[in-house]
């Protein structure tokens, strides 16, 4: 497809979508399947899964978002599966129903595009992620927060949409980048891209959260055992005192 096709503005897209579809145009089925190739390496797969699992754990009680990765986003104004589609490595759509999907079809989702996109860079996709995709996400998707991360070099860049153009984000003193859309930081921890709360707390994976809960329960149990032991010692001392001197004076 041409770059001109890729870079249509939302207004142009909405106008084209609103026009009557010619009778000879065959519309795709409503339930379009994703058509993305496998992720290139285990690093890419694990990183994508890590971001998804942590956000789903953090927002476990919310039902107003959709998060996925390596899933096709179809956005053809003519509602064709064969043109104008992209498959970000990770993306989040806010103010939508939280449910499984086979793909993200813009014309079936009230015209919604991702609020946040993260691309996991590889040697074969780096130029596209930094160039063409960045321009599409800026000019067509109008995605407010766009990040890319290289799991090999640990390069992390982020951009926020201001007046229709991406402005590069400045990292904080920890090197983290703020996502206004999610009210979370993205930063590197143990050579992986992770979420951090506004207070600077690492958002755990479900496994890490379970381990922390186990440790907390064990600590509470130990504290109760220690308190019980101290109480027993005090009762023993009191009993010995009474044997020698009688009851304590009032």
pLDDT of residue 58: 97
pLDDT of residue 6: 43
Per DSSP (E only), the strands in 123-201 are 145-149, 156-162, 165-168, 177-179, 184-189, 192-196
pLDDT of residue 2: 38
CA distance 145 to 194: 16
pLDDT of residue 236: 73
DSSP state of 77: T
pLDDT of residue 39: 58
pLDDT of residue 148: 97
pLDDT of residue 22: 46
pLDDT of residue 244: 75
Task: Give the CA dihedral 27, 31, 33, 34, nearest 10 degrees.
Answer: 90
Are the C-beta atoms of 27 and 82 separated by less than 8 Å?
A: no
pLDDT of residue 205: 95
Burial 181-217 (b: 16+ CB within 10 A, else e): bbebbbbbeeeebbbbeeeeeebbeeeeeeeeeeeee
Nearest CA-CA partner of 89 in 127, 47, 119: 119
CA distance 42 to 36: 16
First to last CA, the chain: 93
pLDDT of residue 243: 72
Low-confidence ranges of the chain (pLDDT < 70): 1-40, 214-225, 227, 231, 235, 238, 241, 245-246, 248-250
Are the C-beta atoms of 101 and 66 separated by less than 8 Å?
A: yes
Q: Tell me the sheet residues that pair with 149.
A: 120, 156
């Amino acid at each position: 497809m041409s770059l001109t096709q890729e870079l249509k503005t939302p207004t142009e897209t909405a106008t084209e979508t609103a026009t009557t579809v010619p009778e000879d145009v065959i519309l795709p089925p409503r339930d379009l399947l994703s058509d993305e190739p496998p992720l290139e390496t285990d690093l890419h797969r694990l990183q994508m899964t890590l971001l998804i699992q942590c956000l789903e754990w953090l927002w476990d009680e919310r039902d107003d978002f959709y998060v996925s990765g390596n899933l096709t986003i179809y956005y053809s104004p003519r509602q064709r599966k064969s043109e104008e589609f992209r498959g970000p490595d990770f993306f989040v759509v806010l103010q939508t129903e939280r449910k499984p999907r086979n793909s993200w079809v813009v014309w079936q989702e009230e015209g919604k595009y991702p609020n946040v996109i993260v691309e996991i860079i590889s040697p074969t996709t780096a130029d596209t992620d930094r160039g063409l995709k960045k321009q599409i996400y800026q000019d067509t998707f109008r995605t407010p927060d766009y990040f890319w991360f290289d799991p090999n070099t640990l390069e992390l860049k982020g951009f926020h949409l201001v007046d229709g153009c991406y402005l590069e984000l400045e990292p904080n003193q920890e090197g983290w980048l703020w996502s206004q859309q999610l009210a979370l930081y993205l930063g590197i921890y143990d050579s992986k891209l992770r979420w951090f709360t506004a207070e600077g707390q690492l958002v755990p994976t479900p496994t890490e959260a379970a381990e922390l809960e186990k440790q907390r329960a064990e600590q509470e149990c130990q504290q109760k055992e220690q308190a019980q032991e101290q109480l027993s010692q005090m009762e023993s001392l009191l009993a010995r005192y009474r044997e020698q001197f009688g009851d304590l004076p009032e």
